[in-house]
Chain A
Amino acid sequence: MIRFDSVTKTYPKQNRPALRDVSLEIEKGEFVFLVGSSGSGKSTFLRLILREERTDTGVVHVLGKDLNRLSNWKVPQMRRQLGTVFQDFRLLPNKTVAENVAFALEVIGKARGTIRKTVPEVLDLVGLAGKEDRMPGELSGGEQQRVAIARAFVNRPMLLIADEPTGNLDPQTSVGIMRLLDRINRTGTTVVMATHDQNIVDQMRKRVIELEKGRLVRDQSRGVYGYQH
């Protein structure tokens, strides 16, 4: 699903590489936590998977494709098989819940009939049935994140990337979001989640990958958060 081969990435005008010689493999259907303090390289790791950045040396394979060799015009096709969720939700404030989810399908040219059918299904899945016509501003943080997850999942991606999805949420709401992500994982979707949330990592007992100053320092199945910040 994802393979990093000796990946090094240095941003322009920076001395220290953001990622240094990282190699690892994530299999189909896995649930992986990505932990590490700020500046450890988590975001770079995710940006490389999304091909927002390219490696300096080394190769990143996602869904069987060498992203260094993937031409620019094929990147959108690749991203359609990925779902992405962020800490700040990134919803469109002037569109309703249903419209926000439908937007993801509209802009990749999906037929109107398909959209009308899939959007209620996925909203039901994330537990937002009945709130289709609310505006994001009327929802709680947890509900907004559910909308974002619905939008990321509506295209049934093979891989879900979550960048601190619970970062803006209280612990109780976070648990609900983690249950949802776990459920999505059980449908066969690979989930890679960067987080600072110790409780969640310790409770879930999934594979943990820890980065420190750009190096891979720990890769543990059924791991715990494990470091103090």
Chain B
Amino acid sequence: MRAQFVLSEIGVGLRRNLTMTFAVVISVALSLALAGGALLANKQVDSMKGYWYDKVQVTIYMCNKGDAKSTPSCAKGAVTDDQKAQIKTDLEKLPIVEKVYYEDAEQAYKHYQEQFKSSPLASTITPDQMQENYRVKLKDPTKFTVVASAFQGRPGVQSVEDQRAVLKNLFSLLNGMTLAAYVVLAFMLTVAMLLIVNTVRVSAFSRRRETGIMRLVGASSFYIQMPFIMEAAFAGLVGAGLACGMLLGGRYFMIDSGLKLQEKIPLVSFLGWDSVVAVLPLVLLIGIVMPSIAAFIALRRYLKV
């Protein structure tokens, strides 16, 4: 394979189809940016769910020694072993309770560190600030109030929380946005594919003289098809590069600057740069492979070899 020959062919082809190449680059960039964005939104939801979100509905926090002054329900001091045992027996007696997990302060600390590892909150918390708690899985997730009324205000119980209620609205918003992104993405992807097929068709037609001669003198089909596939791959790569820029820019604008979400919602652990950067190789790979495949399929139809 003579690299220089192939490169000059690609250059000629791309310049000849400049407007079409632009269309391919832009549609690839937009669809990949959407794909990457949707992927990151999913990651964000997962990271916010933490360890317990999908497993339990209700959390009963016990008083620890630090809560005595700050929380009225814990005025009598930390929870005792008897109180804990009583709560556990009572929980298990409730017919709507399916399963009860006990999490001690040490485990709670570990899970907290995992969830907030990229947030400044992680380093300010120590294990003895964490509360022991019971995580309760209900047979019917909507019956939260039954548990809440039974255990709220008991000696040793700091609070009963329905954590899902806190995050539910945010999650449904994020999930809706992700879904919308996927729908738009599907359309954009179709457009990108059709554009690539059309570009290759025009390209193959405008170079039919060359490819005809190549066939006659015995150039391999690989050699004949390569410039077309590389053209598509190159346009895809440029589009993927733009998409990467959009993703990085998007994170910067939404979280650090512009919307400043991190400043406004400090309690949420937003995705770090590492998560965004981790998505980029995938975006680049799809950006190269997808147009190449589209071009290859188009060549089977429009270029006889």
Contacts and interface: CB of A to CB of B under 8 A. Distances in A.
Contacts of A84: 216-217
Interface in A54-113: 72-73, 76-82, 84, 90, 92, 103-104, 106-109, 112
Nearest to A161: B216
Interface residues of B, number: 17
Contacts of B220: 73, 76, 108
B4 to A, nearest CB: 9
Contacts of A104: 213, 217
A73 B2 CA distance: 20
Nearest to B217: A104
A73 B221 contact: yes
B299 interface: no
A177 B234 CA distance: 44
State the main secondary structure of chain B at its contact with A.
helix
Contacts of A155: 217-218
A92 B213 contact: yes
A151 interface: yes
B212 A106 contact: no
Interface string B1-28: 1100100000000000000000000000
B210 A108 contact: no
Contact of A80 (B209, B218, B221): B218
Contacts of B215: 76, 79
Contacts of A77: 218
Contacts of B219: 76, 107-108
B51 interface: no
Nearest to A81: B218
B108 interface: no
B223 interface: yes
B212 to A, nearest CB: 7
B228 to A, nearest CB: 14
B191 interface: no
Given A79-B216, A79-B217, A155-B217, A107 B223 contact: yes
A3 B127 CA distance: 90
B214 interface: yes
A50 B134 CA distance: 81
A108 B213 contact: no
A104 B210 CA distance: 10
Contact of B1 (A50, A72, A109): A109
A107 B214 contact: yes
Interface in A112-152: 112, 151
B218 A108 contact: yes
Given A90-B212, A90-B213, A109-B223, A79 B5 contact: no
A108 B215 CA distance: 10
Given A80-B218, A151-B217, A107 B5 contact: yes
Contacts of B2: 106, 109, 112
B216 A106 contact: no
Nearest to A155: B217
A106 B1 CA distance: 9
A84 B210 CA distance: 15
Nearest to B211: A107
A78 B220 CA distance: 11
Contacts of B212: 90
Contacts of B217: 79-80, 84, 104, 107-108, 151, 155
Contact of B218 (A79, A106, A112): A79
Interface of B: 1-2, 5, 209-210, 212-221, 223-224
Interface of A: 50, 72-73, 76-82, 84, 90, 92, 103-104, 106-109, 112, 151, 155
12 contacts: A73-B220, A76-B215, A77-B218, A90-B213, A90-B216, A107-B214, A107-B219, A108-B220, A112-B2, A151-B213, A151-B217, A155-B217
What are the 6 tightest A-B residue pairs by CB atom distance, in nearest-first order? A80-B218, A79-B218, A107-B219, A104-B217, A76-B218, A76-B220
